Structures are given as C-alpha cells and as structure tokens.
C-alpha cells in the first residue's frame, strides 16, 4: 500500500493528540526565548481543554501537515470582529504556526500558512495579523520573507 502523499489538511477534534503535542513543543520553544512563555508543569490537561474549545470555535481553523502518519506541523487561524467604529469590520490572526525542529526549511510552514490564508480569503477578510516574539529569529525571518511587516509593537517591562 502506498502511504498518502505528505499534505496539509484541516484538523478536527479527532486530532487532539498531535495538536497537543505540537502545541506543547511550540510552548517549549518560546519558553527558551523568554520566561514569560514558560509552561506550568501541570499544563497538559489545560492545553487539551483549550485546544478542544478552539477546535469547536466556528471562527477558527486548525491545519496539520502529515507525513508518513506523523504530524510535523500545524497552524491555527481565527477571524475576529473589529470594533463597530472602524471601516474594516473583520481581521484575521495566525494564532499559532509551528513545524517540528527536524522538519524545518522544507516548505511545510509556508504550506500551512497558504492553507490558513485560503481559509481567510474564503471569509472575505482582507487583513491578517501575527504576533511574533522579537527574539524569535526564525519566526521574524519567516514572516518578513512572506510579506508581513511591522504594524504594532508590543512593549513590556518587568517590575
């Protein structure tokens, strides 16, 4: 039997295990960048609860890249309403995008982003945001190479 070709697909509630695993790896990657991202030791059940709620949200979508039965990357995108004083009524946000460290720089992140942006375009939403840590060199390089530019700076200060 020929294994299915590697591809992006929309993820659902049945994909909680690979999504939780990928999400945890993403959290650990960020914890190395800044202690503000550190996960609690008992975060695992809460991560699953949060993911399930987001999977049920009709204004959000998850995409998975699978290869040889293994999930190597995921993206989460959502659409939000703007305050009713703005001309722009809705905007999208790429909430998460992560590829396993041993599978990076092969185009998987770009394929997941393309699927997420197609989902956004289908909703007639014309602008997409992403929050990326200033210290995340790969993330900064990835987004800027794909046409994303500075818009808002999130400043913070330790007290």
Binding site for ligand COA (CB under 6 A): 26, 29, 97-99, 104-110, 130, 132, 136-139, 141-142, 145
Least distance in Å: CB of 120 to ligand COA? 16
Q: Are 116 and 110 in contact (CB under 8 A)?
A: no
Structural contact between residues 16 and 48, judged by C-beta atoms closer than 8 angstroms: yes
Give the residue nearest to ligand COA (CB). Answer: 141
Residue whose tokens read 């996960």: 39
Tally the residues of the chain: 159
Q: How far apart are CA 135 and CA 30, in angstroms?
A: 9
Do residues 96 and 23 make contact, with C-beta atoms less than 8 angstroms apart? yes
Task: Pick the closer one to ligand COA by CB: 16 or 132.
Answer: 132
Which residue's CB is nearer to ligand COA, number 90 or number 148? 148
| 56 versus 118: smaller Cβ distance to ligand COA | 118
**Minimum CB–partner distance for residue 45 and ligand COA (Å):** 23
Q: How far is the CB of 25 from ligand COA (least distance, A)?
A: 8
Q: Measured between alpha carbons, how far is 35 from 145 in angstroms, rounded to an integer? A: 27
Q: How far is the CB of 85 from ligand COA (least distance, A)?
A: 29
């Amino acid at each position: 039997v020929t294994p299915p070709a590697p591809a992006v697909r929309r993820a659902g509630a049945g994909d909680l295990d690979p999504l939780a695993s990928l999400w945890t790896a993403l959290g650990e990657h960020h914890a190395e960048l800044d202690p503000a991202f550190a996960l609690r030791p008992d975060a695992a059940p809460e991560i699953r609860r949060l993911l399930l709620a987001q999977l049920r949200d009709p204004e959000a979508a998850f995409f998975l890249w699978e290869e040889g039965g293994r999930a190597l990357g995921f993206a989460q995108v959502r659409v939000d309403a703007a305050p009713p004083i703005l001309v722009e009524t809705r905007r999208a946000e790429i909430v998460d995008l992560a590829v396993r460290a041993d599978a990076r720089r092969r185009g998987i992140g770009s394929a997941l982003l393309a699927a997420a942006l197609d989902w956004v375009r289908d909703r007639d939403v014309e602008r997409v945001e992403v929050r990326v840590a200033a210290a995340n060199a790969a993330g900064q390089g990835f987004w800027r190479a794909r046409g994303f530019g500075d818009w808002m700076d999130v400043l913070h200060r330790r007290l």
